[in-house]
Amino acid sequence: QVRLVESGGGLVQAGGSLRLSCASSGLTFTRYTMGWFRQAPGKEREFVAAIPWLGGRTYYADSVQGRFTISRDNSKVTVYLQMNNLKSEDTAVYYCAADTVVVPPREVREYDYWGQGTQVTVSS
């Protein structure tokens, strides 16, 4: 059974930082592209960042480019999202997701597995 478990969310002031983690189990981690998505109240789930199987080039939404960094540690079967200079508009539930395609997709429907999400709240 595949499980993705996010952690690291919380309440932070604008300008602050958080590091999210997503630990996986039940899948061959090095064969999966990993992505982060977020969903704010009343809005659709949106792409945030993604990293392919063996790392290398990373992909970001324009809204987080330069502030967020996605990384993965294949030895720990974990993907991370370092979030700096947080803004109130970053407030959302953040989800990690896994997919087997080589080039990381940005569409929700492309991902095979999802975590339960972790809440990030940025106060202004």
| pLDDT tens by residue, 88-121 | 999 999 999 999 988 888 999 999 999 999 999 9
Lowest mean pLDDT among 21-30, 42-51, 102-111: 102-111
Q: Phi-psi category of 108—alpha, beta or left, where left has phi over 0 and alpha has psi -120 to 50?
A: alpha
Looking at the chain, the whole-number percentage of residues with pLDDT higher than 70 is 100
Name the phi and psi angles at 10, rounded to 5: 165, -165
pLDDT for 20: 98
Secondary structure (3-state) at 36: strand
pLDDT-derived band at 59 (thresholds 50, 70, 90) equals: very high
The H or E element that residue 13 is part of is strand 10-13
CA distance 23 to 25: 7
Token pair for 64: 């987080």
Q: Dihedral sign, CA of 58, 96, 73, 87? A: positive
Q: Dihedral sign, CA of 53, 22, 78, 67? A: positive
CA distance 89 to 100: 30
Count CB atoms within 10 A of the CB of residue 88.
11
